[in-house]
Amino acid sequence: MDFDYSDKVKQLRDKLTAFMDAYVYPAEQDYFAHIAPESRRWTIPPIMEELKQKARAEGLWNLFLPDSEYGAGLSNLEYAPLAEIMGRSVIGAEVFNCNAPDTGNMEVLVRYGTEAQKKTWLEPLLEGKIRSGFAMTEPDVASSDATNIQCAITREGDEYVINGRKWWTSGAMDPRCKILILMGKTNPEADIHHQQSMILVPMDTAGVKVLRPLHVFGDDDAPHGHAEILFENVRVPVENILLGEGRGFEIAQGRLGPGRIHHCMRLIGVAQRALEAMCVRAEDRVAFGKPLSAQGSVREDIARSRCEIEQARLLTLKAADKMDKAGNKAARDLIAMIKIVAPKMAQNVIDRAIQIHGGGGVCQDFFLARAFAYARTLRLADGPDQVHMAALAKQVLREYAPAKDILLKNMLLSVWRKA
C-alpha cells in the first residue's frame, strides 16, 4: 500500500524534522539536568517553555486535532508521520502541545464537551497554559477490564460526589495539571457498559488527595509523573459530567482509537532513532580488532530491526487510513494489531541498541534507557497486550470460523463421495 502525502503534510514533516534537529535533541540534556536535583524534580525546565514558544511561532502547534477550528485539520493518516517525528524524543510531543494525556483529553472536550466546558478547560489546554490528567485505572481491581471500575460518582442535588482511589493517573504530578477527566460508576444497576461515566474534576477540589508518584522501573518520571490519588467526598457541579450519565464507555472508545495511533507512531519514531544510534555506534566502536558492524550478529540485529520497524509503520499507517475512511469501529481489528505489535517492536529494537551500546546503553548518557522504559510501559497503557489479542482473536474467529465450517463440510463430502 502506498501512502502519498499532500504538500501541506510534506511541508509540516520537513519543518518538524528541522525543528527537532535544531532545538529538541540539543535540549534533552538541559531538560534532564534541570530536574536532576531533588529540589527541582517537580518543576518545569525553562527550556521546555522556550521550545513551546518557538514551536507555536512556527505553526507547529496542536497538529493532532483533526478539527480545523482548534487544530491543524489533519486526518489520522496525515498526522501519523508527524507523530513519528515527535516521538523520536521523549520530550518531543510536549514541545508541540501534542502529548498524552492532554491530546486525548482535548479530543474528548472537542467532541463531547459543552461550550462552558470548552471555554473553561479546552481553551487553556489548547494554548498550552495548563496540563491535564486522566484518572481511569484503579489499584484494587483489574482495570484492564474497565467494567471493574469501582470509583463511585453519586448525584446529590446539584452536585456529584466522588469517592474512590485511582492510580497511574498520568500527568497529575505535573505542577501545571489543573483538571482531571475521571471515569467512575454512576449507576451500578444499569447494564454493564452503561454503569460508567466520565466527569471533570479540578485538581484543587476539596477531597482530591495526591498520595504519591508511581515509579516506572525506579524512575518517578518527573516532572510529568503518574499519581496515585484518593478521592474522598469530592464534590463537583452536575455540569461537570461529560455527555451524560452512562456514556463513559462511549467516550472512552472515541478517545482511545486516535490515541493508539498516536502512541504507536511515537513508538515507531523512537525505535527508528534507536536503529540509527545502533548503526552509528556499531561503526564507531572497535572490538577484537574490527568495528562492531563487522560482526555477523550485529548486522543481523540491524537488519531485523529495520524489517520490524517498517512492518509496524506500514501496519499503523494502514490502521490510520482505515479509521479515516471507515471510522474507528471498522478499524478496530487493525487498531488492536498495532497496539500489540508496535510497543513490543520498539522494546525489541531499543533493547538491541542498548546491547550494542554496552554499559552506556543503560545509563543517562544516552536516550535508550528512558526509551526502553517508555516502550515497555506502553505494552500496558491503553490496555495490555492480552486484552487486545483477546479482542482481535474474537474478531478473527467470527470472520473465519463459519467459512472454515463450510470448507470442512465440503471437503468431507468430497472425500466421502470419492470413497
Query: Is residue 235 domain-shared with residue 96, that is, in the same domain?
Result: no
Of the chain, the percentage scoring pLDDT greater than 70 comes to 96
From residue 108, how far is each of 111, 138, 229, 332, 404 by CA, in Å?
A: 5, 21, 22, 19, 41
Q: Per-residue pLDDT tens for 129-151?
A: 999 999 999 999 998 888 999 99
Q: Supply the DSSP symbol for 214.
A: P
Query: Is residue 275 domain-shared with residue 387, that is, in the same domain?
Result: yes
Query: Is residue 121 domain-shared with residue 236, that is, in the same domain?
Result: no
What pLDDT is attached to residue 416? 57
Residue 304's Cβ-side half-sphere holds a number of Cα atoms within 13 Å equal to 14
Number of domains in the chain: 3
In a domain, 407, yes or no: no
Query: Is residue 220 domain-shared with residue 184, that is, in the same domain?
Result: yes
Which CATH number characterizes residue 122's domain?
Answer: 1.10.540.10
C-alpha torsion sign, points 59, 105, 224, 320? negative
Helix residue ranges per DSSP H, 76-220: 76-86, 92-95, 102-112, 115-117, 123-126
Tell me the average pLDDT of the chain.
94
Query: Is residue 322 domain-shared with residue 393, that is, in the same domain?
Result: yes
Q: Per-residue pLDDT tens for 299-335?
A: 999 999 999 999 999 999 999 999 999 998 899 999 9
Query: Is residue 285 domain-shared with residue 184, that is, in the same domain?
Result: no
pTM of this structure? 0.92
Q: Per-residue pLDDT tens for 204-242?
A: 999 999 999 999 999 999 999 999 999 999 999 999 999
The 3-state DSSP class for residue 385 equals helix
Which CATH number characterizes residue 173's domain?
Answer: 2.40.110.10
The 3-state DSSP class for residue 334 equals helix
- Model confidence at 418, pLDDT cuts 50, 70, 90, reads low
Q: Per-residue pLDDT tens for 45-64?
A: 999 999 999 999 999 999 99
The 3-state DSSP class for residue 296 equals helix
Query: Is residue 253 domain-shared with residue 319, that is, in the same domain?
Result: yes
Query: Is residue 370 domain-shared with residue 396, that is, in the same domain?
Result: yes
The grid coordinates of residue 88 equal 523520536
Domain of residue 144, residue span: 131-242
What pLDDT is attached to residue 70? 87
What pLDDT is attached to residue 256? 72
Q: Per-residue pLDDT tens for 357-415?
A: 999 999 999 999 999 999 999 999 888 999 999 999 999 998 887 766 777 667 666 66
